[in-house]
């Protein structure tokens, strides 16, 4: 696959997992954590006889069906030259898919990648072959808790053998995550890869706007920006639906991505977007983490995320693999405090640029706790403005040495 050097999370997690240790790892999307748990699973499953013939050997639990499909695809790619079988298990599927999932869960498919709700449904029906389970992986644990899956996870764990190895991965290490780890992990190895700042290739800018200015300024950006692949993030499903509908009526090639779409619709939207048949994806945070889409030219935060780390995850969708990208955020009066927290997290002010000509003035930007230079564009005014890049610094997280050879 052309991968020759382990990322920091891989260099630290793979040896611990191969030593049979439980693991809690804090690392954001894009650090290579999927391979950090898939490679040890494949090594053990391929190299050692199962505890129980015909049983599931590894269970990977994830928050969304898109992530389940993505990890299953990566599993098939990495394990291509082995006889290991895997299956994604998620909701929103038809009867035939349910029967296929049931057969996999009964017949000892070695690796199951599942969303909590659907997995629990199968477990409650009593036919899941789980007695020989050797690995449990919880990926994006903080996102699962944010989405209300903590009770489902606790119920799932009650079904599983206690004699197992558990690996937990999370982008943040909030107190609820530590409490969950304390309850389900045994003497875990702890790994923390610092949250990296937005890549140097990301040109970060912000428009300070009144709420009614958002939609017309967005339309102007979409008309004048040459980006061919754009993600617009909005805070809630209803906003995603309304904004996508508004843009479509105005003649823009835009489609929504949210949890109310059925599985077929979601897969088709993502396929069209990946293949550049769709220019604009309007999405909730479901796309900000764990979904691998390359070559995104422009990220627009229509709403300022409430969690500062979500800003880093959203902006991280562009300028991947040392490429260039652009991120624009709309900051209204009610969002200034939150945006100030984002600037504190990344360690520098995001350049505030004037609104385009003819759109009037926006509010004066004020955010507590962050000192800004007089050149950061705190005052708004009409006119084209200078769109030159601001200060984009990044503190690089260091990773140690090479782990075991695989």
pLDDT band with cut points at 50, 70 and 90 for residue 404: very low
C-alpha closest to that of 69 among 320, 294, 264, 280: 264
Q: In angstroms, what CA-CA distances link 161 with 55, 132, 303, 328? A: 12, 8, 44, 48
Give the phi and the psi of residue 289 in degrees, each rounded to 5.
Answer: -125, 140
CA distance 353 to 328: 10
Angle at 261 between CA 295 and CA 315, to 5 degrees: 30
Query: How many helices and strands, by DSSP H and E, does the chain display?
Result: 13, 14
Q: Which residues contact 170 (CB under 8 A, 6 or more apart)?
A: 24, 25, 26, 138, 140, 141, 142, 177
Neighbours of 268 (CB within 10 A): 14
DSSP element (H, E) containing 38: helix 33-47
Q: What is the pLDDT, as a whole number, of residue 289?
A: 60
Q: What is the pLDDT, as a whole number, of residue 131?
A: 93
- What's the whole-model pTM score? 0.67
C-alpha closest to that of 288 among 119, 146, 390: 146
Q: Which residue has the higher pLDDT, 367 or 205?
A: 205
* Locus of tokens 């102007």: 220
Q: Residues 312, 316, 321, 326: is their CA dihedral positive or negative? A: negative
CA distance 82 to 86: 11
Q: List b or e across 49-69, with b for residues whose CB sees 16 or more CB atoms inside 10 angstroms.
A: ebeeeebbbbbbbbbbbbbbb
Burial of 316 (0-12, 13-18, 19+ CB in 10 A): buried
Mean pLDDT value of segment 194-211 = 83
Q: Is the predicted pLDDT of residue 377 greater than 50, yes or no?
A: no
Q: Which of the 8 DSSP states describes residue 62?
A: -
What are the structure tokens assigned to 144, written together? 């699962």
pLDDT band with cut points at 50, 70 and 90 for residue 81: very high
Q: Is the predicted pLDDT of residue 393 greater than 50, yes or no?
A: no
Q: Is the predicted pLDDT of residue 151 greater than 60, yes or no?
A: yes
Length of the chain: 406
CA distance 201 to 392: 8
Q: What is the pLDDT, as a whole number, of residue 290?
A: 52
Q: What is the pLDDT, as a whole number, of residue 385?
A: 37
Q: What is the pLDDT, as a whole number, of residue 394?
A: 35
User: Which residue segments constitute the domains of the chain, with CATH numbers given?
Assistant: 8-192 (3.40.50.300), 202-352 (3.40.50.300)
Q: What is the pLDDT, as a whole number, of residue 391?
A: 35
Using only C-alpha atoms, the chain has a radius of gyration, in whole angstroms, of 22
Contact status, residue 89 vs residue 112, Cβ threshold 8 Å: yes
CA distance 390 to 387: 9
- % of residues, the chain, pLDDT over 90: 56
CA distance 36 to 110: 18
């Amino acid at each position: 696959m052309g991968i020759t050097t382990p990322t920091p999370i891989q260099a630290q997690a793979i040896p611990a997992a191969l030593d049979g240790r439980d693991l809690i790892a804090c690392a954001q999307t894009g650090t290579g954590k999927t391979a950090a748990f898939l490679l040890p699973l494949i090594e053990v499953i391929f190299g050692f006889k199962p505890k129980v013939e015909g049983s599931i050997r590894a269970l990977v639990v994830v928050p969304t069906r898109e992530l389940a499909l993505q990890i299953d695809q990566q599993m098939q790619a990495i394990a291509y030259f082995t006889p290991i079988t895997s299956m994604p298990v998620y909701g929103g599927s038809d009867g035939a898919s349910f029967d296929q999932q049931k057969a996999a869960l009964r017949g000892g498919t070695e690796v199951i990648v599942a969303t909590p709700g659907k997995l629990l449904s199968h477990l409650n029906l009593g036919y899941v072959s789980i007695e020989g389970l050797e690995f449990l992986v919880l990926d994006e644990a903080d996102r699962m808790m944010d989405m209300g899956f903590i009770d489902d996870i606790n119920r799932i764990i009650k079904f599983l053998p206690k004699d197992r190895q558990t690996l937990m991965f999370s982008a943040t290490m909030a107190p609820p995550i530590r409490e969950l780890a304390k309850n389900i992990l045994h003497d875990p190895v702890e790994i923390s890869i610092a949250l990296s700042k937005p890549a140097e290739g990301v040109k970060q800018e912000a428009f300070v706007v009144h709420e009614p200015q958002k939609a017309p300024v967005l339309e102007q950006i979409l008309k004048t920006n040459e980006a061919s692949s754009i993600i617009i993030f909005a805070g809630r499903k209803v906003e995603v639906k309304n904004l996508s509908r508004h843009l479509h009526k105005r003649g823009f090639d835009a489609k929504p991505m949210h949890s109310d779409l059925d599985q077929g619709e979601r897969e088709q939207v993502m396929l069209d977007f990946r293949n550049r048949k769709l220019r604009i994806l309007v999405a909730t945070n479901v796309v900000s983490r764990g979904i691998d889409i390359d070559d995104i030219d422009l990220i627009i935060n229509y709403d300022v995320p409430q969690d500062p780390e979500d800003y880093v995850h959203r902006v991280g969708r562009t300028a991947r693999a040392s490429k260039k990208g652009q991120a624009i955020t709309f900051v209204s009066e009610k969002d200034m405090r939150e945006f100030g927290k984002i600037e504190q997290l990344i360690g520098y002010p995001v350049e505030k640029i004037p609104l385009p000509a003819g759109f009037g003035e926006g509010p004066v930007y004020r955010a507590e706790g962050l000192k800004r230079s007089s050149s950061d564009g705190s005052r708004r005014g009409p006119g084209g403005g200078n769109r030159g890049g601001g200060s984009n610094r990044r503190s690089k997280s260091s990773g140690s040495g090479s782990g075991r050879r695989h």
